[in-house]
Amino acid sequence: MQFSDYEWVAIALSLKVAALAVSASLPLGVTVAYLLARREFIGKSLLSAVISLPLILPPVVTGYLLLIAFGRKGVVGIFLQAVFGFSFSFRWTGAALAAAVMGFPLLVQAIRISMEAIDRRLEAAAGTLGASPLWVFLTITLPLALPGIIAGTVLAFARSLGEFGATITFVSAIPGETQTLASAISAALQDPDGEPEAWRLTLLSILISFTAIFLSGFVSRLVARRVGTVS
């Protein structure tokens, strides 16, 4: 397959958007997954439901909610513009925000499952030896949950690459600025002569998705083996 300069721009932008979306949401994802897996608190079920909403809601609804909150007339958007002179609207960072929101449930779910599978006796043993809760988390919980973190990262990255509905609703599809791989395919399909371009980009999307699923399954097997050795 030989891609045009226009297609390479969309591919590169999609990779940049997905990389920022995952790297920015990973610390929060680990924290939230730890709270859901290890702590009992009021509103835990509500928090879990809110995190899962992007998987259930139509992506257009999620994008519209982001537009209401982070758009130029949104409460958060007005604050960011007034204080920092920054806006998510019609910028690639807005596409990254939309992608992060859509991929966040997959990220949290994979990490949470991995943390719940860890034998808590290992953490308790480290605590009885004088290790602080933070040190136990950094040296015991986090390394044992690493396969789940990797799996969640891969799934969230792939989801971010394929995001369309929320992104186009929130930041539109501006070539070179917010037009990602998915929106480029949509634009090609609307062009009578755009079928070859749509076909090339679709094959690339399939390749990326297949690779992500393969890697996720491989890491899941590592998690299963690890659970078998510590339980």
- 3-class secondary structure for 110-175? HHHHHHHCCCHHHHHHHHHCCCCHHHHHHHHHHHHCHHHHHHHHHHHHHHHHCCCHHHHHHHCCCC
Highest mean pLDDT among 30-39, 117-126, 190-199, 201-210: 30-39
As a whole number of Å, the end-to-end CA separation of the chain is 48
pTM: 0.86
Q: What is the pLDDT of residues 66-95, one digit of tens each?
A: 999 998 888 898 888 888 888 888 889 999
Looking at residue 50, its pLDDT comes to 92
pLDDT band at 226 (very low <50, low <70, confident <90, very high): low
Domain 5-230 in CATH 1.10.3720.10? The answer is: yes
User: Region 162-166: what's the mean pLDDT?
Assistant: 89
Provide the pLDDT for residue 207. 86
Asked if 226 and 147 touch (Cβ cutoff 8 Å), the reply is yes
Token pair of 167 as six digits: 């992104």
Q: In Å, how far are 16, 33, 103, 129 from 160, measured between CA atoms?
A: 10, 19, 6, 42
Instruction: Report the pLDDT averaged over residues 158-187.
Output: 88
Q: How confident is the model at residue 220 (pLDDT cuts 50, 70, 90)?
A: low
98-148 confidence digits (pLDDT tens): 999 999 999 999 999 989 888 888 878 877 877 788 888 888 888 888 888
What mean pLDDT do residues 15-21 have?
92
The whole-number average pLDDT for the span 35-55 is 90
Range with the poorest average pLDDT among 75-84, 106-115, 173-182, 210-219? 210-219
Return the domain boundaries, the chain: 5-230
The secondary structure of residue 66, as a DSSP letter, is H
Whole-angstrom Cα distance, residue 175 to residue 168? 12
Using CA atoms, how far residue 30 sits from 2, 37, 138, 153, in Å, is: 39, 10, 12, 10
Mean pLDDT for the chain overall? 86
Nearest in space to 33 (alpha carbons), one of 156, 150, 145: 145
pLDDT of residue 69: 92
Report d(CA 177, CA 43) in Å as an integer. Answer: 39
Res 227 pLDDT > 60: no
